[in-house]
Amino acid sequence: MKGYKKFLTAISMAVLIAATTIFMLKTSLKEQNTIIPEKTGILSQSEVKFLVPQEDREKEEIELMKKEIREKNKRLKVNEKIAEVEKMLDDGQRERVEEILKKLGNDRVEEIIKLVGKGIDGKGNEKILAILRERLTPEEIKYILELVDKY
């Protein structure tokens, strides 16, 4: 479980850094007007369009990047909360939670994390419970809900 969280955190940070770097490069090149295919002969017109997009395309890309960053931040906050709770659990509780998470599978855990990141409402709660009911026993669900209430 710890490796999985570290992996998610590392991937999230890598994507965030890459997106930020690309954005900064595009902004810098556009402000400086340093790459013009007629002068340099290095880049094709399509490559220049990619590096210095039209305003509408640039605004769309910026909004998409902002949205991705917000989603990554939500996931990071959820992962931070999970790490906090994990520190509070004793060894027996931690082992049982790890067994339950393995039984759920990475795909279902990811889905639950996404739902929690969006904010939990009545519909979200029902979706989470439906996911839990698919693969867990009533006793395991009760145990998880008790931990959620406790922490």
Domain ranges of the chain: 1-73, 89-151
Report the sign of the C-alpha dihedral through residues 111, 114, 116, 118, in that order.
Answer: negative
- Residue 49 near residue 58 (C-beta atoms within 8 A): no
Q: Among residues of the chain, what percentage have pLDDT more than 70?
A: 66
Report the sign of the C-alpha dihedral through residues 128, 122, 144, 94, in that order.
Answer: positive
Q: What is the per-residue pLDDT across 24-58, written as a single tens digit (0 to 9) for each? A: 666 666 655 554 444 445 556 565 556 655 666 67
Residues 6+ apart with CB under 8 A from 72: 12, 15, 16
Q: What is the pLDDT of residue 138?
A: 92
